[in-house]
Amino acid sequence: MRLEIGNILIKDIQFADKTKVENSVLFINKDEMIKEIHTDDKIASVDLDIAKPGESVRITPVKDVIEPRVKVAGNGGIFPGFLSKVDQVGEGRTHVLKGAAVVTTGKIVGFQEGIIDMAGIGAEYTPFSKTLNLVVIGEPVEGLLQHEHEEAVRLLGYRAAQYLAEAGREVEPDEIETFETKPILEQAAQYPELPKVAYVYMLQTQGLLHDTYVYGVDAKKIIPTFIYPTEVMDGAIVSGNCVSACDKNPTYVHMNNPVIHDLYARHGKDINFMGAIITNENVYLADKERSSNMVAKLVEWLGVEAVIISEEGFGNPDADLIMNCKKIEQKGIKTVLLTDEYAGQDGASQSLADADPIANACVTGGNANQPIILPKLDKIIGHIDVVNTIAGGHNESLKEDGTIEGEIQFITGATSEVGFNKLTARTK
């Protein structure tokens, strides 16, 4: 499966009379956009704002971040199963408004939502302080249940990204990247001298408000399966969860998964990238055993020498991570684990809820309990009062002078477990 990604570099966002991309500027007709995307009666009101890198702006509570993409050639459309039919995606050409992002906010759904600071020390911990953010503020109608609230705002964000991306449909990209994964036998024969490597992609699926979707299906209902990495770039996997902001994979991160991009960059040079296996993170032991058994079987079936395994979330999913690792290693296949840590504010506590001596190659995205003090910023988009209740905060996080005391756990993307961040740690 071969996909061309046409990156249209966006260097500024402005409200204007017409929505278009011109000279690397994304112009947005605010009234028209609100009318186009506000189609759900579960949302009482929609407003739009802009947050740019370096501005004294704080966005909270952050629900999702989405990159505007549009398919211009090939099957299906972006966000299959939601905004498009369930045709298989991942081939043809997709245009991307690179540098722009949709950020959704509004009244809090669940306590595990996040903060994006566009300036100050907090901006150093989130990758989304570097994107030009169109913030969609969606406020729910009274009495809406939590899962309905999450779904309504999630779809609102997809519609916003779709609306913006259409402005790039006829624009000539500034650069075109090509990604290709062949059927298994062809792929194995392409570089027979190189070690074959696969990616085991663990998705957060631990129940209500802890969901990830694949082609519109709640991934806790799937069994592990193979997926072409290019399908992920077309929005086949989207976020629907409210896990801790620091290690949640927003939809933007799924579409730009750095593990996939890095493996493609090395493909044909020092590895043969065979593709990805997606699996869920389960609550009950029997489900964990079933999924990890199937993951190990699929990895063996691919005939690879090594895999990278990433998780999403912490605590209970650590058991899924270690199960996947052990069963794959027991088949003689090397593993590298990607995770983060909840090691206490002093870093002295046990980092993971589960461990095994066989898991001897591990990369960490940082310690989510690391304390931080965020300075007062001039502008708030969203609801600042929630910082006392979101994960990583406490009853007195928000100070009278506007500063916020807590842990980097509440910063969106701070300890990304796929490496979409700046933090790591090294064993001395």
- Tell me the catalytic residues: 242
Distances in Å between the Cα of 419 and the Cα atoms of 45, 337, 339 are 35, 11, 9
Q: Are strands 92-98 and 69-73 parallel, antiparallel or unpaired?
A: antiparallel
Distance of CA 321 to the CA centre of its chain: 18
- C-alpha atoms less than 13 angstroms from C-alpha of 408 in its C-beta half-sphere: 29
Scanning 166-284, the segments in alpha helix (DSSP H) are: 184-190, 229-233, 251-255, 258-266
Does the CA dihedral 88-89-90-91 come out positive or negative? positive
Q: Measuring CA to CA, which residue among 40, 11, 38 is closest to residue 27?
A: 11
Angstrom distance (rounded) from CA 10 to CA 161: 14
Point out which residues pair with 311 in neighbouring strands.
none
The two tokens of residue 125 are 């911990």
Q: By CB neighbour count within 10 A (0-12 exposed, 13-18 middle, 19+ buried), where does 16 fall?
A: middle
Strand residues in 141-296 grouped as ranges (E): 175-180, 196-203, 210-214, 217-218, 225-227, 237-241, 272-280
Distances in Å between the Cα of 32 and the Cα atoms of 29, 49, 119 are 5, 14, 30
The phi, psi pair for 113, rounded to 5°, reads -120, 175
**Contact assessment for residue 27 and residue 16, using Cβ atoms and an 8 Å cutoff:** yes
- Percent helix, strand and coil across the chain, each rounded to 5? 25, 35, 40
Say which DSSP state 376 is in: P
The two tokens of residue 89 are 């995606």
CB within 8 Å of 49: residues ≥ 6 apart = 134, 135, 137, 381
**Contact assessment for residue 418 and residue 262, using Cβ atoms and an 8 Å cutoff:** no
